[in-house]
Amino acid sequence: MPTLCDRLLKLKEMFKSKFGSIPKFYVRAPGRVNIIGEHIDYCGYSVLPMAVEQDMLIAVEPVKTQTLQLANTNPLYPDFSTSANAIQIDKTKPLWHNYFLCGFKGIQEHFGLSDLTGMNCLVDGNIPPSSGLSSSSALVCCAGLVTLTVLGLKLSKVELAEICAKSERYIGTEGGGMDQSISFLAEEGTAKLIEFSPLRATDVKLPSGAVFVIANSCVEMNKAATSHFNVRVMECRLAAKLLARHKSLQWDKVLRLEEVQAQLGVSLEEMLSVAEDALHPEPYSPEEICGYLGISLEELRTQILSPNTQDAPVFKLYQRAKHVYSEAARVLQFKQICEDSPEDAVAQLGELMNQSHRSCRDLYECSCPELDQLVDTCRRSGAQGSRLTGAGWGGCTVSLVPADVLPTFLARVHEAYYQGSGRGEAPGQHGLFATKPGGGALVFLEA
């Protein structure tokens, strides 16, 4: 894989060829792998990701006009230009440049700016797209930092992460903030426990003697292009409201499952019992939910549901709440084992990852046959634990592999999943690779 220095030099040459000038600076934002804590950040719960070495790079030159010109080193992504003061983001089409516009608009709106200068930008990414490694959020974060730098303004990493998490919702996904937080707050050599409200990050030292390996299922899943992701967010929101109603809390003010736990002042284990008592395993119709909450279908659609979930025929509330509360507990257990570092730490952590995948597959239903096959292959090939990572329905798995069996593991997975299947014709770095915790977003000035 080319070094960062090699990529920057190549990007500079391509920029010169494209725009006839030299970039003033470059911005880098990494992708991430979520080790454990899937689909719970938007419910208010802590997650445990680390940045990967793959990233988004943008070469930038501010210009005197008000035109924003975006180009990509990948010919699959066409050039785009627009006025810096008339940003339109089309939610119906998650095109690559819209993610840049999210980050740009987030900074613009945060500072209330109306007369922005233009810029020429050339984007280069080596995070596989739609793979669950957060290529889209890395681009949003990169664009936010680009815009801040062009304007000569300052924000903390936490403020930047919060703005970018909020602004990515312009594309239509109701995400929770993990991806943007780790992109800015990551540090080389350590995973992070990311907590929300207020946003903060704590180092989590991963066990020595084992490595995390990412394997791409080669099934692409763009969470902004379908309603799967937002339906899950709404199912969690509805579950929170029904649980709050069951416990005589002010349900109309509740949005997240964590708020119910906080207001009741009970443990995650106790919340699992509350969910058992209050919710039934059969799917809920919109009419049944309205009956419980004493609202009309119109109120449900316009005041609670997001635009692309208003026509969902049923909602599975029991299963989603069970996943969220059990997964939130697994995150805390994972961190505790890393801190205590028992002799069998790798086996214990692996088991938590295996439990997480089962919950994602059976309760949250965000896996797919290829991911399940890949997880099984990884476990049979020597992983202590393996699970889907990212939104799911495709994308990547992450596996915890003892360092001494790594070469055998890689060879076995390559042979069993990729070879002769037509998947990932050249898996190389994009298909199957060991990774270690990388650093967060940075600005490089042209010397």
pLDDT confidence of residue 132: 80
How far apart are the C-alpha atoms of 125 and 119, rounded to whole Å? 19
Percent of the chain with pLDDT over 70: 96
Give Cα separations from 385 to 212, 375, 401 (angstroms): 10, 9, 7
How far apart are the C-alpha atoms of 283 and 93, rounded to whole Å? 30
Instruction: Give 369-426 pLDDT, tens digit per residue.
Output: 999 999 999 999 999 999 999 999 999 999 999 999 999 999 999 999 998 676 754 4
How many degrees, rounded to 5, is the angle at CA 212 between CA 209 and CA 218? 155
Q: What are phi and psi of 190, to 5 degrees?
A: -145, 140
Instruction: Give 269-311 pLDDT, tens digit per residue.
Output: 999 999 999 999 999 999 999 999 999 999 999 999 998 899 9
pLDDT-based confidence at residue 220 (cuts at 50, 70, 90): confident
How far apart are the C-alpha atoms of 408 and 376, rounded to whole Å? 16
pLDDT confidence of residue 428: 39
User: Is position 277 annotated as part of the catalytic site?
Assistant: no
pLDDT confidence of residue 221: 75
Asked if 438 contacts 186 with a C-beta cutoff of 8 angstroms, the reply is yes
Asked whether residue 52 carries a pLDDT value surpassing 90, the answer given is yes
Instruction: Give 21-49 pLDDT, tens digit per residue.
Output: 999 999 999 999 999 999 999 999 999 99
Instruction: Give 173-205 pLDDT, tens digit per residue.
Output: 888 899 999 999 999 999 999 999 999 999 999
Asked whether residue 440 carries a pLDDT value surpassing 90, the answer given is yes
Q: What are phi and psi of 125, to 5 degrees?
A: -130, 140
**What tokens does 119 get?**
């810029």
Which residue, among 161, 248, 146, has the nearest Cα to 200 in the 3D structure? 161
How far apart are the C-alpha atoms of 34 and 50, rounded to whole Å? 6
CATH class of 4-205+438-445: alpha beta
Which residue, among 399, 268, 266, 254, has the nearest Cα to 327 in the 3D structure? 268
Asked whether residue 87 carries a pLDDT value surpassing 70, the answer given is yes
In 363-433, alpha helices (H): 369-380, 406-413, 428-431
Which residues neighbour 426 within 8 Å (Cβ) at sequence distance 6 or greater? none
Which amino acid would we find at residue 272? L
pLDDT confidence of residue 201: 96
**Does the CA dihedral 91-95-101-103 come out positive or negative?**
positive
pLDDT confidence of residue 386: 98
58: β partners: 27, 123
Q: What are phi and psi of 31, to 5 degrees?
A: -80, -175
pLDDT confidence of residue 447: 57
The residue to which tokens 């798995």 are assigned:
397
Task: Say which range, 61-75, 314-328, 347-361, 423-437, has the weakest mean pLDDT.
Answer: 423-437
In this structure, the strands spanning 118-125 and 67-72 are parallel
pLDDT confidence of residue 392: 93
Pick 130 or 268 by higher pLDDT.
Answer: 268
Kindly report the average pLDDT of the chain as a whole number. 93
- Backbone φ/ψ region at 212: left (φ over 0), alpha (ψ -120 to 50), beta: beta
Asked whether residue 435 carries a pLDDT value surpassing 50, the answer given is yes
Mean pLDDT of all residues in 216-242: 87
pLDDT confidence of residue 430: 58
**Of the listed 79, 90, 179, 252, which one is catalytic?**
179
How far apart are the C-alpha atoms of 442 and 271, rounded to whole Å? 40
Residue 311 buriedness (CB in 10 A; 0-12 / 13-18 / 19+): exposed
Parse the chain into domains and list their residue ranges. Answer: 4-205+438-445
